[in-house]
């Protein structure tokens, strides 16, 4: 194994922290720079499916994420009134990892920050990269505080609105607004909520994911004009209005929401960077390369898989270009599958009209478990 490389990771999100930990654990001198002045993650939850847990296991934090999370075996799909249509059991578990683990984003972040620190990665907040010049010897980096340093590789995990993707590919591959947003709020978990649940209405869907013994989060995906801006104070009322078509368990939750609830409103963007994801010594990873709709709960999973595969490939005794090429070859098809499938699910769910609703529910009943199983079977394979 070559341990001589020095790597700069841009972005201390889930992928960047995971990469910082994975690279430093393999002996690379690793710096992480994060533009935010301090760690700051909004307080909702996230599901980590089995393939993501395998990546977290490679970073050595599986026990920690399982200890704070809620393990569950899959998803129950319902109509808008809560009648069960299709139970779907996730096929991503094995004797080491459960099929799914819901947890708070803050907990996941804290665990990854500690892992990167423990491994020896140096993280600096309130700092970004102003310029990168590459030649045969190094990537020469100028930081926003005026300092300069040289690296063998720069890995940009700077999120869906990536400045580095913009710079490297001269604006040719911008993120696109999907036309849909997601509303999320953390609420108490009733004892009988032991797996994810989805409720299909006309042109929108709602659902919830268990996060811990105490909490779960409710989500609602709705079509919204891109110009809609939402004041934090108005979000609980707007969410209650959006949920008016639901009966059953979603209606019970809706009716218990108050104006004090912390509702998070997020427009959904996507991007799929064509291969190769690198130029010279700079590689684009995580959401910056392949942000997807959240419908398979696979975005962070893909970013964490990128992190461990990048560390694997850079550990080989090959040139930087060969390593970055091998990285893209391993990652592109998997990320593309997740992007395409997530978008197809989003489109199918949002296209449901009063006339097509019975057919849509019948299609779910007949095919959903099998279709989701096919995707799981691919994602069960090593990243």
Ligand X SMILES: Cc1cc2nc3c(=O)[nH]c(=O)nc-3n(C[C@H](O)[C@H](O)[C@H](O)COP(=O)(O)OP(=O)(O)OC[C@H]3O[C@@H](n4cnc5c(N)ncnc54)[C@H](O)[C@@H]3O)c2cc1C
Helix (H) or strand (E) holding 342: helix 320-350
* Tokens (6 digits) for 142: 């100028």
Beta bridge partners of 283: 155, 278
Minimal CB distance residue for ligand X: 13
Binding span for ligand X by CB under 6 A among 27-35, 92-100, 188-196, 349-357: 27-35
Each residue 143-182 as x (binds ligand X by CB under 6 A) or -, in order, gives --------------xxx---x------------------x
What gap in Å lies between CA 103 and CA 210, rounded to an integer? 8
Binding span for ligand X by CB under 6 A among 169-177, 186-194, 295-303, 369-377: 295-303
Binding residues among 175-214 for ligand X as defined by CB under 6 A: 182
Q: Which of 34, 76, 107, 204 binds ligand X (CB under 6 A)?
A: 34
Closer CB to ligand X, residue 125 or residue 150? 125
Q: How far is the CB of 319 from ligand X (least distance, A)?
A: 25
Q: Which of 104, 175, 298, 315 binds ligand X (CB under 6 A)?
A: 298
Q: How far is the CB of 269 from ligand X (least distance, A)?
A: 8
What gap in Å lies between CA 274 and CA 277, rounded to an integer? 7
* Residue 16 in contact with ligand X, rule: CB under 6 A: yes
Q: Which of 246, 250, 286, 327 binds ligand X (CB under 6 A)?
A: 286
Q: Report the 3 state secondary structure along 216-277.
A: EEEEEEEECCCCCCCCHHHHHHHHHHHHHHCCHHHHHHHHHCCCCCCCEEEEEEECCCCCCC
306 touches 22 (CB < 8 A):
no
Question: Dihedrals φ, ψ of 17, to 5°?
Answer: -65, -40
Helix (H) or strand (E) holding 377: helix 369-379
* Residue 266 in contact with ligand X, rule: CB under 6 A: yes
- Cβ neighbours around 122 below 10 Å, total: 13
Question: Dihedrals φ, ψ of 137, to 5°?
Answer: -90, -35
* Residue 106 in contact with ligand X, rule: CB under 6 A: no
Closer CB to ligand X, residue 50 or residue 299? 299
Closer CB to ligand X, residue 155 or residue 352? 155
Count, residues near ligand X per rule CB under 6 A:
30
* Residue 300 in contact with ligand X, rule: CB under 6 A: yes
Closer CB to ligand X, residue 36 or residue 114? 36
Binding span for ligand X by CB under 6 A among 22-30, 286-294, 337-345, 368-376: 286-294
* Residue 13 in contact with ligand X, rule: CB under 6 A: yes
Task: Report strand pairing: 74-79 vs 205-210.
Answer: unpaired
* Residue 124 in contact with ligand X, rule: CB under 6 A: no
* Residue 36 in contact with ligand X, rule: CB under 6 A: yes
Closest Cα partner for 181 from 236, 237, 232, 242?
Answer: 242
Q: How far is the CB of 18 from ligand X (least distance, A)?
A: 8
* Residue 305 in contact with ligand X, rule: CB under 6 A: no
Q: Which of 5, 8, 11, 263 binds ligand X (CB under 6 A)?
A: 11
What gap in Å lies between CA 168 and CA 151, rounded to an integer? 17
* Residue 376 in contact with ligand X, rule: CB under 6 A: no
* Tokens (6 digits) for 289: 């390369």
161 touches 173 (CB < 8 A):
no
- If you ran DSSP here, which 8-state letter would residue 295 be given? G
Binding span for ligand X by CB under 6 A among 28-36, 238-246, 326-334, 344-352: 28-36
Q: How far is the CB of 207 from ligand X (least distance, A)?
A: 11
Contacts of 358 (CB under 8 A, 6+ apart): none
Question: Dihedrals φ, ψ of 94, to 5°?
Answer: -150, -165
- Could you list the residues that contact ligand X (CB under 6 A)? 10-16, 33-36, 46-47, 52, 128, 157-159, 163, 182, 266, 286-287, 294, 297-301, 303
């Amino acid at each position: 194994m070559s341990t001589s490389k020095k790597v700069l990771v841009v972005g201390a999100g889930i992928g960047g922290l995971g990469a910082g930990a994975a690279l430093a654990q393999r002996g690379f001198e690793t710096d992480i720079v994060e533009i935010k002045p301090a760690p700051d993650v909004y307080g909702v939850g996230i599901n980590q499916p089995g393939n993501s847990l395998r990546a977290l296991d490679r970073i050595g934090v599986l026990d920690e994420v399982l200890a704070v999370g809620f393990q569950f075996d899959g998803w129950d799909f319902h109509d808008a009134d809560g009648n069960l249509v299709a139970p779907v059991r996730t096929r991503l578990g094995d004797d080491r990892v459960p099929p799914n683990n819901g947890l708070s984003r803050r907990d996941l972040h804290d665990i990854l920050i500690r892992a990167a620190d423990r491994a020896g990665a140096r993280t600096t907040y309130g700092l970004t990269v102003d310029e990168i010049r590459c030649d045969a010897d190094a990537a020469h980096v100028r930081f926003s505080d005026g300092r300069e340093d040289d690296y063998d590789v720069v890995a940009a995990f700077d999120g869906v609105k990536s400045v580095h993707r913009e710079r490297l590919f001269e604006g040719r591959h911008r993120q696109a607004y999907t036309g849909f947003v997601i509303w999320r709020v953390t609420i108490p978990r009733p004892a009988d909520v032991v797996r994810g649940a989805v409720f299909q209405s006309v042109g929108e869907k709602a659902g919830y994911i268990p996060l811990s013994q105490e909490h779960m989060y409710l989500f609602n995906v709705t079509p919204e004009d891109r110009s809609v801006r939402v004041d934090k104070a108005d979000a609980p009322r707007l969410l209650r209005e959006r949920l008016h078509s639901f009966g059953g368990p979603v209606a019970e939750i809706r009716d218990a929401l108050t104006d004090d609830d912390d509702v998070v409103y997020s427009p959904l963007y996507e991007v799929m960077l064509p291969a190769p994801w690198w130029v010279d010594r700079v590689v684009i990873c995580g959401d910056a390369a392949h942000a997807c709709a959240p419908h398979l709960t696979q975005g962070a999973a893909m970013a964490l898989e990128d992190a461990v595969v990048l560390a694997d490939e850079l550990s080989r005794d090959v040139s930087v270009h060969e390593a970055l090429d091998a990285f893209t070859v391993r990652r592109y098809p998997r990320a593309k599958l997740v992007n395409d499938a997530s978008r197809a699910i989003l489109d199918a769910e949002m296209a449901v009209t009063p006339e097509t609703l019975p057919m849509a529910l019948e299609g779910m009943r007949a095919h959903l478990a099998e279709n989701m199983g096919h995707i799981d079977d691919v994602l069960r394979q090593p990243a």
